[in-house]
Chain A
Amino acid sequence: PKYIIPDCFSGFSPRGDRGGRGGRGGRGGFGDRGRGGFRGGRGGGFKSPDGGFRGRGGGRGGPRGRGGRGAGRGGFGAGKKVLVEPHRHEGVFICRGKEDALVTKNMVVGESVYGEKRMSVEEGETKIEYRAWNPFRSKLAAAILGGIDQIHIKPGAKVMYLGAASGTTVSHVSDIVGPDGLVYAVEFSHRSGRDLLNVAKKRTNIIPIIEDARHPHKYRMLVGMVDVIFADVAQPDQTRIVALNAHNFLKNGGHFVISIKANCIDSTAAPEAVFASEVKKMSAENMKPQEQLTLEPYERDHAVVVAVASPPITYTCE
Chain B
Amino acid sequence: MLVLFETAAGYAIFKVLDESKLQQVDSLYKEFETPEKANKVLKLKHFEKFQDTTEALAAATALVEGKIGKSLKKVLKKVVAKEAHEQLAISDAKLGGVIKEKLDLSCVHSPAVAELMRCIRGQMESLITGLPPREISAMSLGLAHSLSRYKLKFSPDKVDTMIVQAISLLDDLDKELNNYIMRCREWYGWHFPELGKIITDNLAYCKTVNKIGDRTNVAGSDLSDILPEEIEAEVKLAAEISMGTEVSEQDIGNIRHLCDQVIEISDYRIQLYDYLKNRMMAIAPNLTVMVGELVGARLISHAGSLLNLAKHPASTVQILGAEKALFRALKTRKDTPKYGLIYHASLVGQTTAKNKGKISRMLAAKASLAIRYDALGEDTNAEMGVENRAKLEARLRQLEEKGIRRISGTGKAMAKADKYQHKSEVKMYDPSGDSTIPSTSKKRKFEEVEEEEEAEEPVTPVVKLKKPKKESVAEEQEAEAAETPKKKKKKKDKKADDETEEPKEEEEAVAVTESTEKKKKKKKKKAKEEEEDDD
Distance between Cα atoms of A318 and B110 in the complex (Å): 9
A207 touching B140 in the complex, CB below 8 Å, given contacts A56-B327, A200-B145: yes
> With A and B bound together, what is the CA distance between A311 and B329 in angstroms?
69
A80 to chain B, nearest CB (A): 25
A277 within 8 A of B: no
Bound state CA distance, A243 and B145, in angstroms? 26
Within the complex, the shortest CB–CB distance from B98 to chain A, in Å, comes to: 14
Contact check: which of B148, B304, B324, B327 meets A208 at CB < 8 Å?
A: B148
Q: Looking at the assembled complex, report how far the CB atom of A254 sits from the nearest CB atom of chain B, in whole angstroms.
A: 11
Determine if B331 and A50 form an interchain contact, defined as CB atoms under 8 angstroms apart: no
A55 near B91 (CB under 8 angstroms)? no
For the complex, count residues of A whose C-beta is within 8 A of B: 50
Return chain A residues, CB-CB under 8 Å to B331: 55, 58-59, 63, 67
Check if A124 is an interface residue, CB within 8 A of chain B: no
Chain B residues lying within 8 Å of A50, measured Cβ to Cβ, are: 323-324
Q: How far is the CA of A222 from the CA of B124 in the complex (A)?
A: 13
Query: With A and B bound together, what is the CA distance between A221 and B50 in angstroms?
Result: 13
In Å, the complex CA distance between A56 and B327 comes to 7
Q: Is B272 an interface residue (CB 8 A)?
A: no
Q: Do B311 and A209 touch (CB < 8 A)?
A: no
From known contacts A63-B331, A208-B145, infer whether A221 and B63 are also in contact, taking CB-CB under 8 Å. Answer: yes
Q: C-beta contact mask, A245-258 vs B, less than 8 Å → 1, else 0? A: 00111011000000
Assess whether B303 is in contact with A209, with CB atoms less than 8 Å apart. Answer: no
| Residues of B contacting A: mostly | helix
Q: A248 to B59: give the CA distance in the assembly, Å.
A: 20
Are the CB atoms of B91 and A52 closer together than 8 Å?
no
Considering the complex, give the chain A residue whose CB is closest to the CB of B112: A315
Q: Shortest distance in angstroms between A218's beta carbon and chain B's nearest beta carbon?
A: 5
Are A312 and B29 in contact (CB-based, < 8 A)? yes
**Interface membership of B143, Cβ < 8 A:** yes
Let me know if B118 is at the binding interface, CB within 8 A.
yes
**Whole-angstrom CA separation of A252 from B122 in the bound complex:** 9
Residues on B with C-beta less than 8 A from A55 are 327-328, 330-331
Q: Which residue of the partner chain B has the closest CB to A52?
A: B323
Residue B54 at the chain A interface, CB threshold 8 Å: no
Please give, as numbers and ranges, the residues of chain B lying within 8 Å of A26 by CB-CB distance.
Answer: none
Cα A28 to Cα B115 in complex, Å, equals 46
Known: A55-B327, A222-B147, A311-B29. A16 touches B152 (CB 8 A): no
Indicate if the CB atoms of A15 and B324 lie closer than 8 Å: no
Contacts of A52 in B (CB 8 A): 323-324, 326-328
Interface-located stretch among A140-148, A190-198, A259-267: A190-198
Candidate in B323, B330, B333 with the most chain A CB atoms within 10 angstroms:
B330
| CB-contact partner of A222 in B26, B114, B143, B316, under 8 A | B143
Contacts of A201 in B (CB 8 A): 145
Complex Cα gap A301–B527 (Å): 84
Q: Which residue of B lies closest to A190 (CB)?
A: B152
Interface residue? A280 (CB, 8 A): no
The contact string, 1 if C-beta is below 8 Å from chain A, for chain B 424-436, is 0000000000000
In this complex, which of A56, A67, A190, A312 has the most chain B Cβ atoms within 10 angstroms of its Cβ? A312
Given A210-B152, A247-B114, answer yes or no on A197-B308 (Cβ-Cβ < 8 Å): no
Q: Is B358 an interface residue (CB 8 A)?
A: no
Contacts of A221 in B (CB 8 A): 6-8, 59-60, 63, 140, 143
A86 at the interface (CB under 8 A from B): no
CA distance A191 to B292 in the complex (A): 28
Contact of A224 among B26, B124, B316 (CB under 8 A): B124
B326-354 CB contact bits vs A (8 Å, 1 = yes)?
11101101000000000000000000000
A22 CB within 8 Å of chain B:
yes
B122-157 contacts to A (CB < 8 Å): 122, 124, 136-137, 140-141, 143-145, 147-149, 151-152, 154
B305:A16 contact, CB within 8 angstroms:
yes
B234 at interface by CB-CB < 8 Å: no
Q: Within 8 Å of chain A (Cβ to Cβ): is B111?
A: yes
Contact A251 B330 (CB under 8 A): no
Candidates B25, B92, B324, B326; contact of A217 at CB < 8 Å = B92
Q: Is B415 an interface residue (CB 8 A)?
A: no
User: Does B312 sit at the interface, judged by CB under 8 A?
Assistant: yes
Q: Does B27 contact A (CB under 8 A)?
A: yes
What residues of chain A lie closer than 8 Å to B330, measured between beta carbons? 55, 58-59, 63
Q: List the B side residues contacting A190 at CB < 8 Å.
A: 151-152
Q: Please tell me which one of the listed residues A18, A58, A247 contacts residue B118 in the complex, with CB atoms under 8 A apart.
A: A247
B121 CB-CB contact with A under 8 Å: yes
A207 vs B316: C-alpha distance in the bound complex, in angstroms?
Answer: 37
**Contact present for B149 and A197 (CB under 8 Å):** yes
Chain A nearest CB, measured from B114 CB (Å): 6
B308 to chain A, nearest CB (A): 5
Residue contact A15 to B114, C-beta cutoff 8 Å: no
CA distance A18 to B144 in the complex (A): 31
Contact between A315 and B114, CB atoms less than 8 A apart: yes
Given A13, A22, A312, A315, which contacts B311 in the complex, CB threshold below 8 Å?
A22
> CA A217 – CA B4 in complex, angstroms?
14
Mask, B305-327, CB within 8 Å of A = 1, is 10010011000100000011011
With both beta carbons as reference points, the residue of chain B lying nearest to A195 in the complex is identified as B307
A318–B111 CB distance below 8 A = yes
Chain A hits for B327, CB < 8 A: 51-56, 58-59, 67
Min Cβ gap B357→A in Å is 20
Residues 18-31 of A, flagged 1 when their CB comes within 8 A of B and 0 if not, give 11001000000000
Which residues on the A side are within 8 Å of B67 (C-beta)?
Answer: none
Asked if B64 is at the interface of the complex by the 8 Å CB criterion, the answer is: yes
Alpha-carbon distance between A153 and B464 when the two chains are bound, in angstroms: 105
Q: Does A220 lie at the interface of the complex (its beta carbon under 8 Å from any beta carbon of B)? A: yes
Provide the bound-state CA to CA distance between A221 and B56, in Å: 10
A306 close to B (CB within 8 Å) = no
User: Which A143-184 residues sit within 8 Å CB-CB of chain B?
Assistant: 182
CA distance A223 to B152 in the complex (A): 20
Contact assessment for A19 and B308 in the assembled complex, using a CB-CB cutoff below 8 Å: yes
The reply to whether A312 and B26 form a contact with Cβ atoms under 8 Å apart is yes
- In the assembled complex, the CB of B151 is this many whole angstroms from the nearest CB of chain A, namely 5
Residue A268 at the B interface, CB < 8 A?
no
14 A–B contact pairs at CB < 8 A? A19-B311, A53-B327, A193-B152, A197-B154, A207-B140, A208-B148, A209-B147, A211-B64, A221-B60, A222-B147, A225-B124, A248-B117, A249-B121, A312-B27
Q: A224-B137, A225-B121 are known contacts; what are 6 more A-B pairs with Cβ within 8 Å?
A: A52-B324, A58-B327, A197-B148, A210-B151, A224-B140, A251-B122
The 4 A-B pairs of least Cβ separation, nearest first, read A16-B304, A52-B323, A55-B327, A315-B111
